[in-house]
């Protein structure tokens, strides 16, 4: 049977949960945090020093979100003062493996994308800001 259209409501309902998960990890801070934690447990202060430009509050919010999403574990060591460490979960490790593939693709194809953009802008007389 031939379908002349795509069932858009079905596609949107299937994509929404995926879009929500991707939205949580797509930002530069989330990816930077996960990358920093990939080397092993990392303390809050070390994360804050490693990522210039992020406020302590924003880092706290991102860490909580990543922990809530099951991408980080938070361990509080009973010392004075308490020492808190963050580590990747198995699903975060899997995510980083996927991101490495995406990064490799982007590296291989960035010149082709730039060439395509230039050709499009020339043909359509447009220049877009990103």
Residues 6+ apart with CB under 8 A from 76: 82, 83, 84
pLDDT per residue over 17-76, tens digit each?
677 777 767 777 998 899 899 988 999 999 999 988 999 999 999 999 999 999 999 999
pTM assigned to the model: 0.70
* pLDDT surpassing 70 at residue 3: no
* pLDDT surpassing 60 at residue 4: no
Q: Average of pLDDT values for 2-20? A: 61
Q: How far apart are CA 22 and CA 17, in angstroms?
A: 9
Structure tokens at 71: 């991408």
End-to-end Cα spacing for the chain: 42
Mean pLDDT of the chain: 85
Helical axes 56-68 vs 28-37, angle rounded to 10° = 70
The confidence score (pLDDT) of residue 1 equals 46
């Amino acid at each position: 049977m031939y379908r002349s259209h795509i069932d858009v409501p079905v596609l949107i309902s299937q994509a929404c949960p995926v879009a929500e998960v991707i939205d949580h990890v797509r930002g530069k801070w989330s990816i930077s945090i996960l990358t920093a934690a990939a080397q092993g447990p990392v303390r809050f202060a070390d994360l804050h020093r490693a990522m210039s430009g992020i406020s302590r509050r924003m880092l706290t919010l991102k860490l909580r979100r990543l922990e809530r999403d099951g991408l980080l574990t938070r361990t509080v060591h009973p010392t004075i003062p308490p020492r808190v460490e963050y580590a990747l979960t198995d699903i975060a490790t899997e995510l980083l493996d996927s991101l490495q593939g995406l990064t490799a693709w982007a590296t291989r194809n960035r010149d082709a994308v730039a060439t395509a953009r230039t050709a499009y802008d020339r043909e359509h007389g447009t220049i877009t800001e990103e």
